Structure 1
Amino acid sequence: MMFPSSFSLEGKVALVTGASYGIGFAMASALAEAGARIVFNDINPDALKKGVEAYAQAGIDAKGYVCDVTDEHAVQKMVEQIGEDVAPVDILVNNAGIIKRIPMHEMKASEFREVIDVDLTAPFIVAKAVIPSMVERGGGKIINICSMMSELGRETVSAYAAAKGGLKMLTRNIASEYGADNIQCNGIGPGYIETPQTAPLREPGHPFNSFILAKTPANRWGTTDDLKGPAVFLASSASDFVNGHVLYVDGGILAYIGKQP
């Protein structure tokens, strides 16, 4: 099958944060398949080691770095080290994130700030670290992993929704501020995705599984494979005139009011 050259990532270096497993691993694997050299981080050394092994088993030569993406100094050092070890970053995927499911009136301000720090401040820090080199070299791609919670609210996720809504607007502002430098900054908003963490919720008959299927026109959960094409598109020259956009990969949830009971 012929593959359009505009989707090729040959010669590009892609930094995917928090990509030892799960959604980040799937997107990084897709970027590698399109030709990119993968670098990634994890805050946990053991998780990083397992990630390196998982990439190797998949036939991907990925380089991992232990780094806390909320630490501005550590991120700057990591980005500089990537430049020395591999090459400057051409593609950044801000994937690292956390969620705390706590009713808002029970959530401590420190817990709220922790989610904001990882899910919103960290993407600012990492983008800030790679943008100067992108400007100097004539362009680059930044992909922020937003969420349907960029648009919707739900019980117990006040901090996460606030962070992802902020990340959506940070995405638009980076596009606005650096579009003239040929930097495209877009987001991906995953829907409910099949992962080991969601396996208990997906058991037939589980109320949450029934709820998600009733809310999703596709009538299924998403898979990590569903995120691969969007990631390659937004990382490649095929999306050079797409900027400040969030691509929701949600099976249609945001377009749908849901089935009548």
Structure 2
Amino acid sequence: MPKVYSGDLTRLFDISGKKAVIIGGAGGFGKAIAEGYAANGCSVLISSRKEAALKAAVNEIKAVAAPGVVVKYFACDASKEADIMACRDFAVSPNGLGGCDILVCAQGFNKKMWSWEIDTAVWQDMLNTNITSVMFACKYFGNWMKENNLEEGMAKPDPAAYEAGKATPGQGYGKIITFGSVRSIRAVGNGGNGNVPYNTTKGAVEMMTKAFASDLRPNIQVNSLGPTITYTPMMVGLLPPDEKVRDGIAAALPAMRIGREIDMVGPAIFLASAASDFITGSTIYPDGGLTAVG
């Protein structure tokens, strides 16, 4: 619920006591954000298709978590509707986090393909993973927030209307963070061409973020992070192996370096905190200045 704080930055950016679900939290940006949240007092549930990776990530997150923070995991395929519903039900149950204040959709993958060699199966898989799974997560967690994160004086939902699929007056609060990319707005990033499928999905995520922000008004803020080329498990396999070529990529950025996973943590804390209560439907580009120069 929006609150105004004056002269107390510790409260303005405070996420302690909150409960966050991070889809794609076993590695990359998702895991880095989970560690950042847990270190600052926010309980987290991470989700991914890979249970072994989730178990390992949970141990690493617990190692940096503040006292009293709960760290859980739930293995599922977020592109399957039944799976994401099961993830939501577990997350908000007493066995999970007991609720959800923050949703981070950090799932996604890229496979570089020139336009004349686009593989239909890979295209469909990318649509399912990068777009459909984000829609399912925002739909089911967003609706749960709207119906359940209620404070005194907030309008309560009409169960009959909810079951019928109609809009309800539920005014619950929450924060949703999706992951777009500089490729949402640039056909060619500093990773070159050959990204028609990936660019398409990230452009869709940016518009989806705006649409969910409008639908889930007034107390749920939905925003996106749009990173540039970054050292993540996914990107390492796509980066040129030649260090001189990588240095050239870095030199094109005002920041003069390739991004790191930790570069997403500060923006993700901001978008999860009261400091961003008047920001919704927006994209922040932690891109080392790429969008400023091209």
Same fold, TM-score > 0.5, yes or no: yes
User: In 2, are the aligned partners of 1:34 and 1:232 still within 8 Å (CA)?
Assistant: no
User: In 2, are the aligned partners of 1:88 and 1:133 still within 8 Å (CA)?
Assistant: no
1:159 corresponding residue in structure 2: 197
Deviates more, 1:114-123 or 1:147-156: 147-156
Deviates more, 1:184-193 or 1:44-53: 44-53
SS in 2 for 1:142: strand
In percent, how many aligned pairs have the same letter? 30
Is the radius of gyration larger for structure 1 or structure 2?
Answer: 2
User: In 1, are the aligned partners of 2:62 and 2:71 still within 8 Å (CA)?
Assistant: yes
Question: In the TM superposition, what is the alpha-carbon distance from 1:204 to its structure 2 partner?
Answer: 7.0
Question: In the TM superposition, what is the alpha-carbon distance from 1:199 to its structure 2 partner?
Answer: 5.4
CA–CA distance in structure 2, aligned partners of residues 45 and 198 of structure 1:
21
- Residues 1:110 and 1:253: Cα distance change in structure 2 (over 3 Å): same
1:83 corresponding residue in structure 2: 92
1:190 and 2:227 are equivalent in the alignment:
yes
1:47 corresponding residue in structure 2: 53
2:285 corresponding residue in structure 1: 248
* TM-score, normalised with respect to structure 2: 0.81
Q: What residue ranges of structure 2 are gaps of 5+ in the alignment?
A: 1-7, 150-171
CA–CA distance in structure 2, aligned partners of residues 128 and 51 of structure 1:
26
- Residues 1:11 and 1:80: Cα distance change in structure 2 (over 3 Å): same
Q: What residue ranges of structure 1 are gaps of 5+ in the alignment?
A: none
CA–CA distance in structure 1, aligned partners of residues 280 and 73 of structure 2:
29
- Residues 1:61 and 1:139: Cα distance change in structure 2 (over 3 Å): closer
Question: In the TM superposition, what is the alpha-carbon distance from 1:100 to its structure 2 partner?
Answer: 1.2
CA–CA distance in structure 1, aligned partners of residues 241 and 121 of structure 2:
34
CA–CA distance in structure 2, aligned partners of residues 98 and 186 of structure 1:
20
Matches within 5 A, 1:135-214: 135-136=146-147, 137=149, 138-154=172-188, 155-180=193-218, 182-195=219-232, 198=235, 201=239, 205-207=243-245, 209-214=246-251
- Residues 1:161 and 1:65: Cα distance change in structure 2 (over 3 Å): same
Root-mean-square deviation (Å): 1.9
Cα distance per residue 1:13-61 (max 9 Å; x no partner) = 1001111122111111112223211001110122122212222333464
Cα distance per residue 1:101-151 (max 9 Å; x no partner) = 111211122211110110011010011111222112221100001111111
1:8 corresponding residue in structure 2: 14
Cα distance per residue 1:197-254 (max 9 Å; x no partner) = 65584877432x1332232011111222221110000011110000111000011001
CA–CA distance in structure 2, aligned partners of residues 37 and 240 of structure 1:
20
CA–CA distance in structure 2, aligned partners of residues 238 and 183 of structure 1:
13
Residue identity in the other structure for 1:176: S
Residue identity in the other structure for 2:217: G
User: In 2, are the aligned partners of 1:168 and 1:187 still within 8 Å (CA)?
Assistant: yes
CA–CA distance in structure 2, aligned partners of residues 107 and 126 of structure 1:
27
CA–CA distance in structure 1, aligned partners of residues 89 and 220 of structure 2:
19
Q: 2:111 aligns with which of 100, 110, 122?
A: 100
Matches within 5 A, 1:49-68: 49-59=55-65, 61-68=70-77
